[in-house]
Structure 1
Amino acid sequence: MEVFSNSQLIVMTILMFIGGEVFTSMVGLHMKRSKIIKVWKSEGRVTSVDSYPASPRPSDFLDQIELSIVTIPDSGITRFESQNDVLSSYNTNNPFVKYNAIKFLGFLVLGYLLVMQILGIASVLIYLALISSAKDVLRKKGLKTLTFAIFTVVSTFASCGFVPTNENMIVFSKNSGLLWILIPQVLLGNTLFPSFLRFSIWVLGKKFKKDEANYLLKKTAEIGYLHLLPGMHSSFLVATVVGFVFLGAYGNVGFTTGYSCDRELKSDPNCVNKWYGFSGKWSDEGKLILIIVMFFGRLKKFNMNGGQPWKLL
């Protein structure tokens, strides 16, 4: 990795950022919103985006409605429907609310992406400024501090696992604080993203965008955003991830601290300790299989309904 120049590392950073699953899913949300506008235009419901009411309220249509009489066909039953009932029906079925919810979700994912990475980069920069031994590593290798921080955090959050050092993370074996900073980026950009996304919607819905947040939390399946899971699934996901973290050393594609001969199940006198990943000793065929597995891992969202870990009533 140290062969790459600073400019080349910046290009790789951009590619990792736009190739990350959180970023690509956000783009998909904005495309879905544009598709809704096109459908409305074709149906003559709006002539342009500007003519679309940004935040339509039920009260706009119900100013003169205090009480409605509803007759159930073939039953002879007549009941009174209060304004709250009409408002509830409006909030769940009105297409404008769904549009606003998708728009809100798209910008929320963007904010989540930027905030998580800005906090990560700032934390790495502060750590490097305070811990001289970690900064000495970068100085010896001719790496710029800012480039290293941005590259490493973006790579970690996007589940790429690249680090601009030849030895990967083992060169920071004495800097466990740096690893603790990167661990949340691994989790929040990958397995725990759906759970924290739902939590963010719930928090923001308390004071801002209440209608949109309620729609997202109650009509999760109708949004069609695979990273937005139902409440119970999100809770089970957190429990599962935490359980696996405590059971093993949580890893990430590309991250490694080398391999030691002491870890072998059967002792091999010809084994030599190495500072690079265990896959470095694989054959070309084995590396090709690993590449294919990583590639299909990126395409997992196209088969999200292929298997159900939990069957919930």
Structure 2
Amino acid sequence: MPIRLHIFVNSTRHVISSSVFVCRFIAFHLSQFLLHLSYFLAIDLLGFLALVLLKPRNPGYRPRYVDMFFMSTSAVTVTGLATIKMEDLSSSQIVVLTLLMLLGSEMFLSLLGLVLESRKPKTHDQDGNRVRSITVCDESNLEEANAAVAPSTDLNDQRKSCLRCLGLVVLAYMAMILVLGSLLVFLYVAHDPSARDVLKRKSIDIALFSVSVTVSSFTNGGLLPTNESMAVFAANRGLLLLLTGQILAGSTLFPVFLRLVICAMRGLARAFTRRGSEELEFTVKNAMAAGFTHLLPGLQTAFLAATVVVVAAAAATFLCCLNWDSAVLGGLTAGQKITNALFMAVNVRQAGENSVDCSLVAPAVLVLFIAMMCIPASATFFSVHDDGGGGERSGAERKGGTKKRRLSLNSMLWSPLACNAAVTMLVCVTERRSLSSDPLNFSTFNMIFEVISAYGNVGLSTGYSCSRLLRPEEASVCHDQPYSFSGWWSDQGKLVLVLVMLCGRLKGFRRQQLRSGSKPTP
């Protein structure tokens, strides 16, 4: 017996060490694009297996594999499109979708990136006169910025210290928003009779709903335990405003809130320990040089905040002007209409939690929504640029005194417009029968709206209505379903959208590669 136990322990230790070696090799030797692609595919497949193995809440419901794979991809890419009724899923399946949204969120990936960058092995450059990490950051800027602060400190140690500090700040930020947000949502629902009755009628646990909706809002996932998303809570102004703040904190205003959190922590550290204050000051000044692009300079952060406020206010005003007396905002008070308009204006950028029926919104507003889906979260009206540029490539150009020019067609061929146009044509081919037999639901505009929503990882959908069927005999046997328009597509069309959601989630890395022009040299 002891011999068998010894063999088992040695075998387990060998498997664990081999797994750790493989993970370290993948993390430190693959490119950023391949690393993230591998991560998303692995999490997607694990989530798909978990959703298939777990039993749904409705005993008579048998989900199809393609729908479960679609839901897993939608969650891990934080898109929010659904092809099934969310209320048919069990609590354990809702938990799986919630974890997938958290693991696939930009915030969590930023935290993982900080951890991996701070643990990268050292290597010697060709001159052999200093040690540095294999990274894409602008080390010349970091060296110049910190020469007066720590001239005798190794550059790699400075950078790793900066990344570790940023990792702790981002972790504290995530924990604070998720815990405090879940608690506030729970308290609101528990003390608001109308919101509590909705969950009671749908047999949804309040605690599960609070955690799931907070994670979905903060990660911009868009998948909620209710079939109608937030439309069933359109009259609950307080809940919508709470989720609006969480959505902004996890997407467009993340750099703004992160800078505010660091300033608050720096003030507390200055009151208790001088060293902690100096480390935070060092982190703020050198975050961009260390490769963390979410912590923008002060002026650029102000431009970003102004852009988000102006765009959201303009979209909310436009929606109110064209839909004030329509069925979209029917039955709501003036304050509730304004709150819903603001909630939709914020959601259309990233989150996709709709509180109104998008199929009833005025076409002009839908066109505005399409344009807002294509706007990157970091877009600003104004930007600040250094005259000398940045990065290793820019540093080499400054030293050599010459700039290299090269011609590339990749930026045109891989532009969002070209990708969305090609995918729209493809899904029009896969859904050609529905386009001819059901032209009101399967209109070209609805197809474009769904594709762009998937590519932008937003999750808004025009839905499907049986009342728009042209043949009365088909309308009599049709039943409206509270899920996305893509839920009515063929299996081929759904698989195309799976690829679109993955491409949309990874489009940021493609833009970085196009801007850099080539791989950075170690």
In structure 1, stretches of 5+ residues that fail to align are: 46-84, 308-313
Match for residue 89 of structure 2? Answer: 4
Match for residue 250 of structure 1? Answer: 346
Equivalent pair of 1:97/1:212 in contact (CA under 8 Å) = no
Pairwise CA distance, 1:138: 0.7
Tell me, what secondary structure is at the counterpart of 1:30?
Answer: helix
So what's the TM-score if we normalise by structure 1? 0.72
Give runs of aligned pairs for residues 126-165 of structure 1, distance below 5 A.
126-165=187-226
Match for residue 263 of structure 1? Answer: 362
Pairwise CA distance, 1:106: 0.3
Distance 1:207 1:133, change over 3 A: closer
Q: Aligned letter for 2:362?
A: R
Structure 1 residue 16 corresponds to structure 2 residue 101:
yes
1:298 counterpart (505, 515, 520): 505
Equivalent pair of 1:16/1:154 in contact (CA under 8 Å) = yes
Distance 1:103 1:111, change over 3 A: same
1:200 counterpart (250, 261, 267): 261
C-alpha distance in structure 1 between counterparts of 2:209 and 2:485, whole Å: 24
Pairwise CA distance, 1:279: 3.8
C-alpha distance in structure 2 between counterparts of 1:98 and 1:211, whole Å: 14
Q: For each residue in 1:238-284, what CA deviation from the matched residue of structure 2 results, as whole angstroms up to 9, or x when unmatched?
A: 1111111101122244422223547356xx99985988477458855
2:278 counterpart (211, 227, 237): 211
Q: Aligned letter for 1:201?
A: I
Match for residue 241 of structure 2? Answer: 180
Distance 1:227 1:301, change over 3 A: farther
So what's the TM-score if we normalise by structure 2? 0.45
Q: For each residue in 1:19-45, what CA deviation from the matched residue of structure 2 results, as whole angstroms up to 9, or x when unmatched?
A: 11101110111111111xx3289x9x9
Pairwise CA distance, 1:303: 4.1
Distance 1:15 1:138, change over 3 A: same
Equivalent pair of 1:157/1:189 in contact (CA under 8 Å) = yes
Q: For each residue in 1:206-234, what CA deviation from the matched residue of structure 2 results, as whole angstroms up to 9, or x when unmatched?
A: 34222222222222332101212222221
Q: Aligned letter for 2:314?
A: L
C-alpha distance in structure 1 between counterparts of 2:363 and 2:150, whole Å: 63
Q: Aligned letter for 1:298?
A: R
Distance 1:11 1:288, change over 3 A: closer
Tell me, what secondary structure is at the counterpart of 2:165?
Answer: helix
Match for residue 291 of structure 2? Answer: 224
* Runs of 4+ more than 6 Å apart: 268-271, 285-289
Tell me, what secondary structure is at the counterpart of 1:167?
Answer: coil
1:25 counterpart (110, 126, 142): 110
Distance 1:97 1:195, change over 3 A: same
Pairwise CA distance, 1:123: 0.9
In structure 2, stretches of 5+ residues that fail to align are: 1-85, 131-145, 270-275, 316-344, 365-438, 442-464, 469-479, 516-522
Distance 1:144 1:240, change over 3 A: same
User: What is the root-mean-square deviation in Å for CA atoms of aligned residues?
Assistant: 3.4
Distance 1:98 1:117, change over 3 A: same
Equivalent pair of 1:2/1:165 in contact (CA under 8 Å) = yes
Aligned length: 263
Q: Aligned letter for 1:296?
A: C
Structure 1 residue 238 corresponds to structure 2 residue 337:
no
C-alpha distance in structure 2 between counterparts of 1:235 and 1:89, whole Å: 30
C-alpha distance in structure 2 between counterparts of 1:167 and 1:107, whole Å: 37
Distance 1:238 1:288, change over 3 A: farther
Percent pairwise identity: 35
Equivalent pair of 2:247/2:346 in contact (CA under 8 Å) = no
Pairwise CA distance, 1:92: 8.6
Distance 1:143 1:188, change over 3 A: same
Pairwise CA distance, 1:120: 1.0
C-alpha distance in structure 2 between counterparts of 1:194 and 1:23, whole Å: 15
Structure 1 residues 287-296 or 248-257, which shifts more?
Answer: 287-296
Equivalent pair of 1:29/1:106 in contact (CA under 8 Å) = yes
C-alpha distance in structure 2 between counterparts of 1:157 and 1:253, whole Å: 8
Give runs of aligned pairs for residues 272-287 of structure 1, distance below 5 A.
272=467, 276=482, 279=485
Equivalent pair of 1:170/1:275 in contact (CA under 8 Å) = no
C-alpha distance in structure 2 between counterparts of 1:213 and 1:93, whole Å: 18
Distance 1:247 1:281, change over 3 A: farther
Equivalent pair of 1:120/1:153 in contact (CA under 8 Å) = yes
Structure 1 residue 189 corresponds to structure 2 residue 256:
no
Match for residue 182 of structure 2? Answer: 121
Give runs of aligned pairs for residues 2-81 of structure 1, distance below 5 A.
2-35=87-120, 38-39=121-122
